[in-house]
Amino acid sequence: MNAFKRDKKEEEDGGGNPFQNLEKTTVLQEARTFNDTPVNPRKCAHILTKILYLLNQGEQLGTTEATEAFFAMTKLFQSRDVILRRLVYLGIKELSQVAEDVIIVTSSLTKDMTGKEDLYRAAAIRALCTITDGGMLAAIERYMKQAIVDKSPAVSSAALVSSLHLSNVSGDIARRWANEAQEALNSDNVMVQYHALGVLYQARKSDKHAVIKLVAKLIKNIQKSPYATCMLIRMACKLLDETNNENTELLEFIEACLRHKSEMVVYEAAHALVNLSQSGIREIAPAISVLQLFCGSPKAALRFAAVRTLNKVAMTHPAAVTACNLDLENLITDSNRSIATLAITTLLKTGAESSVDR
Amino acid sequence: MEDGPGKLKRRVEPSLYTIKGMVILDNDGHRILAKYYDKNIFPTSKEQKAFEKNLFNKTHRSNTEIIMLDGLTCVYRSNVDLYFYVMGSSYENELILMTVLNCLYDSISQILRRNVEKRAVLDSLDIALLAMDEICDGGIILDADAASVVGRVALRTDDIPLGEQTVAQVLQSAKEQLKWSLLK
Distance of alpha carbon B16 from alpha carbon B125, whole angstroms = 28
Say whether A201 and B14 touch across the interface (CB within 8 A). yes
DSSP-derived pairing of the beta strands B66-69 and B31-36: unpaired
Question: To the nearest whole angstrom, how far is the Cα of A53 from the nearest Cα of chain B?
Answer: 8
Name every residue whose Cβ is closer than 8 Å to that of residue A39 and which is 6 or more positions away in sequence. Answer: A75, A76, A78, A79, A81, A84
Paired residues of B140 in beta bridges: B17, B137
Question: To the nearest whole angstrom, how far is the Cα of B155 from the nearest Cα of chain A?
Answer: 8
DSSP string, B27-74: TTS-EEEEEE--TTSS-SHHHHHHHHHHHHHHHSS---SEEEETTEEE
Kindly give the confidence (pLDDT) of every residue in chain A, 358 residues in length, as a single tens digit, with 9 standing for 90 and above: 454 554 444 444 445 677 877 888 899 999 989 988 888 999 999 999 999 999 999 999 999 999 999 999 999 999 988 899 999 999 999 999 899 999 999 999 999 999 988 889 999 999 999 999 888 899 999 999 999 999 999 999 999 999 999 998 888 888 999 999 999 999 999 999 999 999 999 999 999 999 999 999 999 876 789 999 999 999 999 998 887 666 788 999 999 999 999 999 999 999 999 988 777 777 788 999 999 999 999 999 999 999 999 999 998 888 888 889 889 999 999 988 889 999 999 998 886 555 554 4
Q: Quote the pLDDT of residue A201.
A: 96
**Backbone torsions φ then ψ of B89, nearest 5 degrees:** -70, 165
Say whether B141 and A312 touch across the interface (CB within 8 A). no
Kindly provide the ipTM of the predicted complex, given to two decimals: 0.90
Distance of alpha carbon B155 from alpha carbon B160, whole angstroms = 8
Chain A residue closest to B152 (CA)? A119
Distance of alpha carbon B140 from alpha carbon B147, whole angstroms = 19
Q: Quote the pLDDT of residue B62.
A: 77
pLDDT digits (tens, 9 = 90+) for B92-138: 999 999 999 999 999 999 999 888 999 999 999 999 999 999 999 99
Q: Does residue A253 belong to the interface with chain B, where contact is any CB pair within 8 Å?
A: no
First to last CA, chain B: 65
Q: How many residues does chain B have?
A: 184
Identify the residue among A48, A86, A130 best suited for mutation to test binding to B, counting B beta carbons within 10 A and taking the highest.
Answer: A86
Q: Quote the pLDDT of residue B155.
A: 57
Angle between helices B94-111 and A300-316 (to 10 degrees): 170
pLDDT digits (tens, 9 = 90+) for A207-264: 999 999 999 999 987 678 999 999 999 999 999 888 766 678 899 999 999 999 999 9
| Of the listed ranges A45-59, A190-204, B32-46, B148-162, the one predicted with least confidence | B148-162
Q: Quote the pLDDT of residue A13.
A: 41
Paired residues of B35 in beta bridges: B22
Buried b (16+ CB within 10 A) or exposed e, A200-237: bbbbbbeeeebbbebbeebbeeebebbbbbbbbbbbbb
| pLDDT band with cut points at 50, 70 and 90 for residue B179 | low
User: Which of B144, B154, B158 has the CB atom closest to A83's CB atom?
Assistant: B154
User: Which of B14, B16, B66 has the CB atom closest to A338's CB atom?
Assistant: B66
Say whether B14 and A345 touch across the interface (CB within 8 A). no
Q: Quote the pLDDT of residue A67.
A: 94
Mean pLDDT within B45-56: 95
- Compute CA B70 distance to the chain's CA centroid, rounded to the nearest angstrom: 20
Say whether A58 and B96 touch across the interface (CB within 8 A). no
Helix, strand or coil for residue A36?
Answer: coil
* CB contact at 8 A, A94 and A53: no
Q: Quote the pLDDT of residue A1.
A: 47
Q: H or E segment at B76?
A: strand B72-79
Q: Quote the pLDDT of residue A209.
A: 92
DSSP B3: P
Say whether A58 and B49 touch across the interface (CB within 8 A). yes
Q: Quote the pLDDT of residue A171.
A: 84
| pLDDT band with cut points at 50, 70 and 90 for residue B160 | very low
Identify the residue among B11, B30, B118 best suited for mutation to test binding to A, counting A beta carbons within 10 A and taking the highest.
Answer: B11
* CB contact at 8 A, B153 and B138: no
Q: Does residue A161 belong to the interface with chain B, where contact is any CB pair within 8 Å?
A: yes
Which of 94-113 (A) contact B at CB < 8 A? Answer: none
Q: Quote the pLDDT of residue B183.
A: 57
Largest CA distance in chain B: 71
Mean pLDDT within B22-40: 94
Distance of alpha carbon B15 from alpha carbon B88, whole angstroms = 13
Q: Quote the pLDDT of residue B3.
A: 40
CB atoms within 10 A of CB A148: 28
- Compute CA A182 distance to the chain's CA centroid, rounded to the nearest angstrom: 20
